[in-house]
Amino acid sequence: MRIDVTIPMACVPHPRPRFGGRAWMPRKYMKWKEDCCMYLELSYDGSPLLGKVEVEIDLVFSRPVRLLKMSSPSCRLPKTGRADLDNMLKSVLDVCQDGGLVKNDNQVWCLTGRQWHQSKDEEDGPQIRIRMKELE
């Protein structure tokens, strides 16, 4: 079985838990995760994948002003920066589990992740594209 879904919002990196008597996650992250899960629940009506899963995640971010110059290429450009890709992917996998795409994110045996600045002509804005394939 295959799943291909696009969440129309920018990814938020998985933060470290905060401690103050008990462990808790920052509000901004929890709100983002709740919004993504709600979107998945509305757009995906299948049952969660139960076997081993291959996952491919493309994170598309808005193009910064410095890359809007005429001399900059118009295609999607690889993005690097402050937020580590592994923390971004962890956030997305948590959303996949809580949003009902997979039963548990420990089912993932192969994970490919990429971060992009959107192309100059893309009008969709930031997005998270998730492709999953359950192995037989």
Residue 15 is classified by DSSP as: P
- How far lies 1's CA from each of 8, 11, 47, 92, 135, in Å? 23, 25, 11, 20, 8
Map out the domains of the chain with their CATH numbers: 2-15+24-134 (3.30.1330.70)
Write the CB contacts of 51 (distance below 8 Å, at least 6 apart in sequence): 107, 134, 135, 136
Selected residue with higher pLDDT from 3 and 17:
3
Predicted local distance difference test score (pLDDT) of residue 129 = 97
Please, which pLDDT band fits residue 68 given cuts at 50, 70 and 90? confident
Predicted local distance difference test score (pLDDT) of residue 83 = 77
Helices H / strands E in the chain, number of each = 2, 7
Question: Strand, helix or coil at 126?
Answer: coil
Other C-beta atoms lying within 10 Å of the C-beta of residue 93: 24
Q: Tell me the pLDDT of the chain averaged across its residues.
A: 91
pLDDT over 90 for what percent of the chain? 68
pLDDT in tens, 71-81: 888 888 899 88
